[in-house]
């Protein structure tokens, strides 16, 4: 069970300090938004590269941008250890995933709430993680969409049938109130924003969330 705190909920004026406050986490989740694929604008390549140089944990970059086919591998080159792109924005999902891997990072695909997983089940060998969005992408602080748990379970069943080491990530509204539900549905990587950075001690919040997920008995089966 891995926790990937979203720096979207952090203090952007002090990102080096903020990322240092989650040294107990498995990843630092970095949302890249271009104001086109989603109606919000955050940060880009230069900031990711700077963060990679100072972060105590690997960067888990989530691209919510148009034309990820062009940009995804460049984020791996900039220092991201995992790069997620949206299938809805990619012209060639397999080629883009391969370009990320060739650049030395883990490749992941993301699905918006209205996007079915069925059309991508045969691509599991090409990716290292599937991100099921549990809110509409674009803004933090949204309410958790419990109806997405069926999709998480579908991905878990497909991963287990295929016997591939693919992680299943959830992003959106993940908190102490929802993380066990996500784990029981089959997720094993959890993006949490305000549930971590909204606490007085973010590192302790990470540990609590991880313990909750582990205690739920969900996630990937033992191999």
Tokens 């997920």 belong to residue = 213
Q: Which residues contact 154 (CB under 8 A, 6 or more apart)?
A: 117, 118
Domain of 8: which CATH number?
3.20.20.70
Token pair for 116: 């079915």
pTM summary value: 0.95
The answer to whether residue 211 is domain-embedded is yes
The answer to whether residue 126 is domain-embedded is yes
Q: What is the pLDDT of residues 92-146, one digit of tens each?
A: 999 999 999 999 999 999 999 999 999 999 999 999 999 999 998 876 667 899 9
Q: What is the pLDDT of residues 66-92, one digit of tens each?
A: 999 999 999 999 999 999 999 999 999
The answer to whether residue 91 is domain-embedded is yes
pLDDT at 137: 84
Q: What is the pLDDT of residues 36-58, one digit of tens each?
A: 999 889 999 999 999 999 999 99
Distance CA(17)–CA(15), nearest Å, equals 5
pLDDT at 222: 42
Distance CA(191)–CA(189), nearest Å, equals 7
The answer to whether residue 220 is domain-embedded is no
The set of catalytic residues is: 31, 171
Q: Which of 215, 167, 155 is nearest to 191 (CA)?
A: 167
The answer to whether residue 38 is domain-embedded is yes
The residue segments making up the domain with residue 151 are 2-215
pLDDT at 126: 98
CA 197 from chain centre, in angstroms, equals 16
Tokens 């001690």 belong to residue = 201
Between 219 and 183, whose confidence is greater? 183
The answer to whether residue 222 is domain-embedded is no
Between 138 and 165, whose confidence is greater? 165
The number of folded domains in the chain is 1
122 φ/ψ sector (left φ>0, alpha ψ -120 to 50, else beta): alpha
The answer to whether residue 221 is domain-embedded is no
């Amino acid at each position: 069970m891995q926790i990937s705190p979203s720096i979207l909920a952090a203090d952007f004026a002090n990102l080096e300090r903020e990322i240092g406050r989650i040294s107990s986490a498995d990843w630092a989740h970095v949302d890249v938004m271009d104001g086109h694929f989603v109606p919000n604008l955050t940060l880009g390549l230069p900031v990711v590269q700077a963060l990679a140089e100072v972060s105590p944990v690997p960067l888990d970059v989530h691209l919510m941008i148009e034309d990820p086919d062009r940009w995804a591998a460049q984020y791996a080159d900039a220092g991201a250890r995992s790069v997620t792109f949206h299938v809805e924005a990619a012209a060639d999902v397999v080629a883009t995933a391969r370009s990320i891997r060739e650049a030395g990072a883990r490749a992941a695909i993301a699905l918006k709430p209205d996007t079915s997983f069925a059309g991508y089940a045969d691509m599991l060998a090409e990716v290292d993680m599937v991100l099921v969005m549990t809110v509409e992408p674009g803004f933090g602080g949204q309410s958790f969409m419990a109806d997405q748990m069926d999709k998480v379970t579908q991905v878990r069943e497909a991963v287990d049938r295929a016997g591939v080491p693919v992680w299943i990530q959830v992003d959106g509204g993940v908190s102490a109130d929802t993380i066990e539900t996500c784990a029981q549905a089959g997720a094993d990587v959890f993006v949490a924003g305000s549930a971590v950075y909204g606490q007085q001690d973010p590192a302790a919040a990470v540990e609590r969330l991880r313990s909750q997920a582990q205690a739920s008995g969900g996630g990937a089966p033992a191999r």
